Chain A
Amino acid sequence: MLPPSGQGHPISAIRCRLAQGSGRRAFDVAMSIWGETVSPLANSPTRRTPTRSGCLVPVEASPDTIIGMATDDDVAKLLFPIGHCIGAYHDLPASNDHFTQVRVRADVNRLSDGQFAIWGLAHGTPDRPPEQPWNREAVLTAARRAGVDQAEQVLESLIDDGLLFETTPGTDFAVDFARRHRLIPLMLGLGNTAEEPWIYSVGMLGMPIVQLSAMAYDLYKWAHLDPNLWVACEGAAAAAVRVGIDDPLATDPLQMLNALLGTLHYMLSPNAVYLDSEGLAS
């Protein structure tokens, strides 16, 4: 459903944003899960000092700082986490020996604290400015500020292990990324409201967490049933054509994919979705 004529809305296409009033919660969701099980962060006195945004793990680099350290290609290339968080595993009572499990397809990866911190930070921070891409430098800057050792090496190893994936919207690489991965919802759809029927929410009952445009909500509802994200974009675009929508962001699968990738971290950071490698039964 598109916004009423003359009431263009900032999330009228493939866009998403945090639900009103949920920023603190969503930010905690996105960050404290990583921080809680990352002992260097958990033990850091700065972690217990909420920042202006409510972030418990300081991520204070400005967009200018991040862009200044990266090449144009690096900026354009976005970094995405792959896998479903299974959680911490403590083998013995009262022991700090642990690892954190992330499932990709049928494989469970055991992550150290540093690996889990980087993987978690790759989900993004919901309060980042919309114009700030969540890329390698953004994650590394956040990781360094959080005190993660050898962040760059850890990030590279996670890419090698298929737990992180870099891709550039608007290129063939983005289509390749979409063909390799599936988008899986982790929350309930909460529908729209009489006040803003062009905005849809996902979350848990009584707890809206992310707000989506109709097209993004459509992908949230259906994309995981397709074999991969590219097939989902093609199917959604074909459906938009069938019902007479003439917005190329809705009818062109490539434009749809690019728009989705540009805002996907808003869904990833509060764990509203996860990306899995394609290949298992949908």
Chain B
Amino acid sequence: MSTGSNTTGSERTESECSDSDETAPLVFPVGHYMGPFHPSQGAPAKHHIVRVGWDTPKLPDQAHFDVWALAHGLPSRTRTVRWTRQAIIETAAEIDVPGTADILDSLVARGLIVEVTPGSDQAREFAVQYRLRSLLIGLGNTPDDPVLDGIGLGGIPPLVKVRPRVFEIWQWAHLWPSVWAACEGLAWVAGQAGGARPEDAEPEALLDFMLEAFRTLISHNAVYLDVATTSQDVRPSAE
């Protein structure tokens, strides 16, 4: 989870990474971070809040927040390391986060972290169950660097610069109610354009690429994963 800074990220995909375990599931955080909650003046943070759908599961302590934050990926490492459970455990150990494996289990059980195996049926299930939501604004490209598109706050250098295919995911995928619907929609659009490559015009192939792109975007807080939207998805009424 990247902190805001004036440093400019650059984008590579996880397929270019060198982690030896190529079969381990990728780990992604779920939810929109809503910060610590101090119940009264002078009181320490009771917990950290994450919004997931119409729910706000809590991160009960700093260790849980640290592990959830690490699940976003460190921009400096996700270029070379597949962001798996093991990568998170090893990174957490460097900053002395206790009990990372158990915390990961807890976060998975509470829907704050999801594990995905690219190319599997489980990846398709993931894509149906979750959706993307985009943050920040697009800064576009520049005459000096027309290949990469910036995403950021404006007024300061881009927080991350990405290739057009990744930028399109940031720009469009959040308009669909699920990742899978976005894959189907974007693949259809690519097919209509004519001359599209299979990896752009086939939803399954597009999903594989999306999983790679998610890491770049999520690690810079340019997007987050939320639960998929359904037609029955309305604000909870009084209980």
Interface positions of A (Cβ within 8 A of B): 1, 4, 25, 27-33, 36-37, 84-96, 98, 100-101, 103, 105-106, 185-197, 200-201, 203-207, 209, 221-222, 225-226, 231, 235, 238, 242, 270-271, 274, 280-282
Assess whether B235 is in contact with A205, with CB atoms less than 8 Å apart. Answer: no
Assess whether A28 is in contact with B156, with CB atoms less than 8 Å apart. Answer: yes
Assess whether A33 is in contact with B176, with CB atoms less than 8 Å apart. Answer: no
Q: Closest Cβ of chain A: how far from B166's Cβ, in Å?
A: 14
17 contacts between A and B (CB under 8 A): A29-B154, A30-B154, A32-B154, A33-B154, A37-B140, A87-B139, A90-B146, A188-B33, A189-B51, A191-B48, A192-B35, A194-B41, A197-B38, A197-B39, A197-B43, A204-B221, A207-B3
Chain A interface mostly: mixed
Q: Known interface pairs A197-B43, A205-B3, A225-B54. Does A270 touch B153 (Cβ–Cβ under 8 Å)?
A: yes
Assess whether B41 is in contact with A88, with CB atoms less than 8 Å apart. Answer: no
Cross-chain contact of B141 among A87, A196, A209 (Cβ < 8 A): A87
Q: Closest Cβ of chain A: how far from B71's Cβ, in Å?
A: 14
| Across-interface contacts of A92 in B (CB, < 8 A) | 143, 146
Q: How large is the interface on B (under 10, 10 to 19, 20 to 34, 35 or more residues)?
A: 35 or more
Q: Closest Cβ of chain A: how far from B30's Cβ, in Å?
A: 14
Q: Known interface pairs A85-B137, A188-B33, A192-B36. Does A31 touch B155 (Cβ–Cβ under 8 Å)?
A: yes
Assess whether A96 is in contact with B143, with CB atoms less than 8 Å apart. Answer: yes
CB-CB nearest in chain B for A202: B35
Q: Closest Cβ of chain A: how far from B8's Cβ, in Å?
A: 14
Assess whether B36 is in contact with A282, with CB atoms less than 8 Å apart. Answer: no
The CA-CA distance from A273 to B201 in the complex, in Å, is: 32
The CA-CA distance from A28 to B157 in the complex, in Å, is: 11
| Across-interface contacts of B238 in A (CB, < 8 A) | 238, 242
The CA-CA distance from A200 to B150 in the complex, in Å, is: 28
Q: Which 10 A-B pairs have the closest CB atoms?
A: A191-B35, A87-B140, A33-B154, A204-B4, A88-B140, A87-B138, A189-B34, A28-B155, A207-B4, A29-B155
List 17 additional A-B contacts (Cβ < 8 Å) besides A36-B154, A101-B138, A187-B135.
A84-B138, A86-B138, A86-B171, A92-B146, A93-B146, A94-B144, A101-B140, A105-B175, A188-B35, A189-B32, A189-B49, A204-B159, A206-B3, A225-B54, A231-B235, A271-B137, A271-B153
CB-CB nearest in chain B for A188: B33
Cross-chain contact of B35 among A185, A201, A222 (Cβ < 8 A): A201
Q: Closest Cβ of chain B: how far from A238's Cβ, in Å?
A: 7
Assess whether B38 is in contact with A221, with CB atoms less than 8 Å apart. Answer: no
Q: Closest Cβ of chain B: how far from A191's Cβ, in Å?
A: 2
| Across-interface contacts of A85 in B (CB, < 8 A) | 137-138, 154
Assess whether A281 is in contact with B155, with CB atoms less than 8 Å apart. Answer: no
| Across-interface contacts of B33 in A (CB, < 8 A) | 188-189
Q: Closest Cβ of chain B: how far from A74's Cβ, in Å?
A: 28
